Structure 1
Amino acid sequence: MARPEIYISTDIESDGPIPGPHSMLSFASAAFTADKTLHGTFTANLSTLPGAQGHPETMAWWATQPRAWAACRAGQQDPAVAMPAYRTWLESLPGRPVFVGYPAAFDFMFVYWYLIRFTGASPFSHSALDLKSYAMALLGTDFRSTVKRTMPRAWFGGSPHSHVALDDALEQGALFCAMLAARDQFLQ
């Protein structure tokens, strides 16, 4: 019998638009099953990649976020240590991991690159579920007009979007579970 899916809501913080020339500074994942059960979290702040540099536009944005910057620079770990621990955590969960992100294209790009670079494989394979695309399908809206402010308020909890990776991973995991519940209502 196939293992059930477990949804890994993941948020990353970086110092630029792509991995390699720029670094993933922090990441966090919250593992949820469709019934909204939180099965655990993983978070790490990473030291920067050798030779990588912060992108000027990204660093200008970070200057406006001192609390989040301080949070992502505390307790840094070498990616060569953090990423194998993350992979082990993913593989220990009670289900097949499905990456969930908002936007998935950005967050997954960094997580996948770091997993391949530092562990040689990704438990997610090559795929990620994008919350904006999922909301577009549920709501029957155009992609560019599907943004958080146009989504049903009932989908959101009270968590603020803080740009602290763990806070944001938990926030978007709860959003995804609310979307799954809405899907189930549509199907009835």
Structure 2
Amino acid sequence: MSYIMVDIESDGPIPGDYSMICFGAVVVEEGLQRTFYGQLRPISEKFIPEALAVSGFTREEAMAFPEPAEVMCSFAAWLASISKERLMFISDNNGFDWQFINWYFHHFTGKNPFGFSSTNLGSLYKGMMKDTFVTFKHLRRTKHTHHPVDDAKGNAEALLTMKNEMGLKIRL
């Protein structure tokens, strides 16, 4: 089983009405060398300027990004090259990140290589600590920049720390 840490940036709160602008993924393993980065042309006329600004891109820049179908097919191929075993989607905010990745995969490729489930890193940490008020974010080493590969790497570092230093039983 391979855990894939994912982070997305969008121009609004939900897929379909709004667009995923870019995303990053990293295989959770020592070294964190296997990464994927995708930029996607918006699929909707609607966007929230403040949401788009988080990504660091202008609307004009985003309009020049590759077609979403092309990017999602490339991501699916990259995921297939990672492992023949089950892939586990994990993110800092899987309620947000998962909805975009899942929708885009189903809409543009017909299926989601992750299947139908995902894991929330924050909830996993809260359970380990037996405290719903704690956060894992101090375990990141890579600065949280809103570049999705940086953010996915920082979250993957936190998960590796939870495994290697805190005793989380997880097969990566």
Q: TM-score range by the shorter chain?
A: 0.7 to 0.9
Q: Where does structure 2 lack aligned partners over 5 or more consecutive residues?
A: none
| Equivalent pairs, count | 166
How far apart, in 2, do the equivalents of 1:45 and 1:156 lie? 24
Equivalent of 2:146 in 141, 163, 180: 163
How far apart, in 1, do the equivalents of 2:33 and 2:119 lie? 19
1:176 matches 2:172: no
Partner secondary structure for residue 9 of structure 1: strand
Q: 1:98–1:124: 8 Å Cα contact kept in structure 2?
A: yes
Q: 2:136–2:158: 8 Å Cα contact kept in structure 1?
A: no
Provide the alpha-carbon RMSD of the alignment: 2.2
Larger Rg: 1
Aligned residue in 1 for 2:28? 32
Equivalent of 1:15 in 11, 18, 21: 11
Q: Per-residue displacement from partner, 1:52-90 (whole Å, max 9, x unpaired)?
A: 4113xxx22544x5x8226x8496110010101101111
Q: Where does structure 1 lack aligned partners over 5 or more consecutive residues?
A: none
1:108 matches 2:109: no
Q: Percent identity?
A: 28
What is the 5 A alignment of 1:1-188? 5-33=1-29, 36-38=30-32, 40-49=34-43, 51-55=44-48, 59-63=49-53, 65=54, 68-69=56-57, 73=62, 76-94=65-83, 95-142=85-132, 145-148=133-136, 153=138, 155-157=139-141, 159-184=142-167
How far apart, in 2, do the equivalents of 1:111 and 1:141 lie? 29
Q: Per-residue displacement from partner, 1:94-134 (whole Å, max 9, x unpaired)?
A: 34211110101100100000000011111111111101100
Partner secondary structure for residue 57 of structure 2: helix
Please report the TM-score for the alignment, with normalisation by the length of structure 2: 0.86
Please report the TM-score for the alignment, with normalisation by the length of structure 1: 0.79
How far apart, in 1, do the equivalents of 2:12 and 2:4 lie? 23
